[in-house]
Amino acid sequence: MDSLFAVCQLESGSLIPPWAPIDNVFSITRTSEVLSIIRRLEVVPEGVVCEPDRRCLRVAGAVPFTVVGVLS
């Protein structure tokens, strides 16, 4: 993927912001400690706590659950 991404951290009780699920590449994960969102860097608003300038890999097609070590 050519775009840069950001790994964002919001408070665990936060609502999913409207900018999170806009595109075809994103991840939203909630734990009891944090709401983590991975998005293209250009759509993350200023002021959001994040680690910018990250790269993502995308596997073509579906990967069966039995496959291990894909990135090894």
Contact 50, 8 (CB under 8 A): yes
Q: Is 8 exposed, middle or buried (0-12, 13-18, 19+ CB in 10 A)?
A: buried
pLDDT at position 1 over 70: no
For residue 71, the model assigns a pLDDT of 67
> Could you tell me the CATH superfamily of domain 5-54?
VC0802-like (3.30.2130.10)
For residue 2 the two structure tokens come to 């050519």
Mean pLDDT of 34-40: 96
Query: Cα angle vertex 28, ends 24, 31, to 5°?
Result: 170
